[in-house]
Amino acid sequence: MKITNLIEVDQFTQNREAFTTDVLMGLSSEPKTISAKYFYDDAGSELFQKISQHQDYYLTKTEFSILEQFGASLAATINEAEIDILELGAGDGHKSKLIIDSFLAQGTKVNFYPIDISEKAMGLLGANLTVSEQLNIHGIVADYFHGLNSLKTISSNKKLVLFLGSNIGNFNRAQTQEFLKKLWLSLNANDHVLIGYDLKKDTDILNKAYNDSGGLTTAFNLNLLKRMNAELGADFEMDKFKHYGFYNPSLGAMESYIISLHDQDVYIAALEKYFHFEKFEALHLESSFKFSESEIHALASQTGFKIEAHFTDAQNFFIDALWQVQKS
């Protein structure tokens, strides 16, 4: 497996500066907030892989069953002799393998380009994929759109972009449209995207999934405090904070917070500043948005895509949406 790292040293510096600035702005705001994009350092990416395999987290096994059932239909719908498959977020390769194997089974040559900010996460991927002369794997260490733009003219093959696991739900409604429009701009006419959408459902199912019995979600959220300690010289004490998550039906999203258990001050050396947390004050980390089928249809039409197929499970928990890029 070949890996190309597009992150230059100065970009790492820029990312650190952006993290520092966002922490300053977020902890100075009312209410306090930190962007969920900072969850995914190496430790965070590893924890999320464990969450995705936990029995309480229905999303992974549900999407896996969809791809297992409809992989051949997906490949037949696109029906290319050779295709470039680009995955946003490397994952562990298990879902990618189902899609890739479906193309290989119909005789399609596959060039697979996983794109991930974490080179460590990239390394977990290759061992789970099928070895085949018809499959080339080239990992790209970069943010999503830097990686996509680097691959736009790599070949004349049609492209299929994978954005699985309901990662689209990490954006709010306006950000979702902006993301899809940027995705449309980065692709050529008649390319395809396959996007995972977690559907609105019973609140008990949602709350259980995001408050797993193994405590992995708690560790995942508190890891953000550990990251601030390690990278910014903060002095957060883990036992003085707790994870809290719940489904907000009026927002249509799971909301995730860290709650301060004490009246306390936290010092961040990189900012040379103390931040005060009142007892039971909340630090907002994430809103994970869920979708209705009508909302998914509207998103496609509003952002330049044609719906080719919507693959779903028997319980109607999840949709993998296959869309085609429409350009004049």
Q: Return per-residue pLDDT of the chain as tens, 328 residues.
A: 677 777 654 555 667 888 999 999 999 999 999 998 899 888 998 898 899 889 999 999 999 999 999 999 999 999 999 999 999 987 778 889 999 999 999 999 999 999 987 776 677 676 777 788 899 999 888 888 888 888 888 889 999 999 999 999 999 999 999 999 999 999 999 999 999 999 999 999 999 999 999 899 999 999 999 999 999 999 999 999 999 999 999 999 999 999 999 999 999 999 999 999 999 999 999 999 999 999 999 999 999 999 999 999 999 999 999 999 999 8
Residue 297: inside a domain: yes
315 and 284 within one domain: no
Q: Which residues contact 238 (CB under 8 A, 6 or more apart)?
A: 222, 225, 226
State how far the Cα of 256 lies from the Cα of 259, in Å rounded to an integer: 10
Tell how far CA 75 is from the center of its chain. Answer: 23
Any idea how long the chain is?
A: 328
Range of the domain at 78: 58-202+291-325
For residue 246, the one-letter residue type is F
Whether the Cβ atoms of residue 218 and residue 242 lie closer than 8 Å to each other: yes
Tokens 């299929």 belong to 160
State how far the Cα of 279 lies from the Cα of 201, in Å rounded to an integer: 33
222 and 90 within one domain: no
What was the pLDDT predicted at 45?
82
Pairing status of strand 2-5 against strand 135-141? parallel
Count of structural domains, the chain? 2
300 and 241 within one domain: no
- Write down the H helix ranges in the chain: 9-28, 42-52, 58-78, 94-105, 119-125, 144-151, 173-185, 203-209, 216-232, 293-302
The pTM of this model reads 0.89
315 and 183 within one domain: yes
Residue 6: inside a domain: no
**CATH number of the structural domain spanning residue 179:** 3.40.50.150
Q: Residue 164: which of 102, 208, 122, 115 has the closest Cα?
A: 115
220 and 95 within one domain: no
300 and 249 within one domain: no
What was the pLDDT predicted at 12?
58
Burial class (CB in 10 A: 0-12, 13-18, 19+), 320: buried
Residue 5: inside a domain: no
